[in-house]
Amino acid sequence: MFEEGLVVADATGPVGGFRSDSMTVLQQITERYANGVHVGTGYLYTLVEPDGSTVELTNFYADPDRWGAAIQYGITRAQLPGAIAALERGATLQFGGIAVTAGGIATARRGAAHWGGARRPTGG
């Protein structure tokens, strides 16, 4: 892991390089139980570059709870200011099948829900 992203490597060497300002991460954390007893946790993080190339990271790499959180923090730090600015300009942000605007959130299947509460004043 580096300040601006990460390089993924396996036994054969580097597999891919990912920048926090341009990648997307999909997270799947699965708690496994047998007879009501926790027997393990499975981690799957899919890193996606803008060109569609992907790399999957799993429990194969030690401490997935730590590096998973670090990847998400890096992406948030790099991309959140631009996302907020885009929303303030009236843009719609897409997260898979979810659309987010300054006014609310929507899905094709469930329709829209508007944000509640007071709104921040815009303009100067």
Q: What are phi and psi of 109, to 5 degrees?
A: -80, -35
Rg (CA), the chain: 18
* pLDDT > 70: percent of the chain: 94
* Cα–Cα separations (whole angstroms), residue 17 to 54, 63, 75, 121: 10, 20, 14, 40
pLDDT (0 to 100) of residue 16: 82
Residues 36-84 have pLDDT tens digits of 999 999 999 999 998 988 999 998 888 999 999 999 999 999 999 999 9
pLDDT (0 to 100) of residue 97: 87
Q: Tokens 């991460």, residue?
A: 25
Residues 1-17 have pLDDT tens digits of 888 999 988 888 888 88
Apex 94 CA angle, 114 and 117, nearest 5: 20
Q: How much is the pTM?
A: 0.77
- Closest by CA position to 44, among listed 64, 66, 63, 24: 64
Confidence of residue 122 (pLDDT cuts 50, 70, 90): low
d(CA 45, CA 56): 6
d(CA 119, CA 124): 15
DSSP code at position 2: B
Each domain of the chain, given as residue ranges in start order, spans 5-79, 92-124
d(CA 51, CA 42): 27
